[in-house]
Amino acid sequence: MPLTAIKSLVRLVLALVLVLPTTVSFAQAFNPVGTWRTRLDAEIRIERCGAERYCGTVSKAAKPGLTDKRNPDPKLRDRPIEGILLITFSKSDEPKTFVGELYNPLDGKMYEGTAKMPDPQTIRLKGCLFYSILCLKEDWVKIAP
């Protein structure tokens, strides 16, 4: 084998050794599983709830004793906010992006939405009305794995 071919092979192996760990850690870094703090200091626990789905439940309400008082179903208005399924989403074709539904306890309605991860410690949620004409956004910060 000529010397130039050996040098090329060594460069290729070095490149793979340097790039593969970065690719793996990058993929692992953008994982929504964990506990997240909302703008109002509630805490949401996101976990896998299927092969390709994630679910987020309220693990700590913004204020003790809050109930789902604006739920359209009168039978559910007295249930505590803690434990409510707040978000369900799946990975999107777009990198670091998830799509699904968001429950808004302030009005008791579900909205189509997205969750993007601009960095491993931040989730940016966006829920929209009227075919994405009116949208609200909120950033959550990861506080525990």
The span from the CA of 32 to the CA of 60, in Å, is 18
The CATH number that applies at residue 114 is 2.40.128.520
Is there a single domain that holds both residue 24 and residue 35? no
For residue 18, the enclosing domain spans: 1-30
Is there a single domain that holds both residue 120 and residue 76? yes
pLDDT score recorded for residue 106: 86
pLDDT in tens, 3-57: 443 433 334 333 333 343 333 333 444 789 999 999 999 999 999 999 889 999 9
Is there a single domain that holds both residue 58 and residue 81? yes
Is there a single domain that holds both residue 133 and residue 93? yes
Is there a single domain that holds both residue 26 and residue 39? no
Share above pLDDT 70 across residues of the chain, in percent, rounded to a whole number: 79
The span from the CA of 28 to the CA of 25, in Å, is 5
Give the contacts of 40 (CB within 8 A, at least 6 positions apart).
Answer: 62
Is there a single domain that holds both residue 74 and residue 13? no
Is there a single domain that holds both residue 22 and residue 37? no
On the 0-12 / 13-18 / 19+ scale of CB atoms within 10 A, 40 is exposed
The span from the CA of 127 to the CA of 132, in Å, is 8
Q: How many domains does the chain have?
A: 2
The DSSP call for residue 131 is T
The span from the CA of 85 to the CA of 126, in Å, is 17
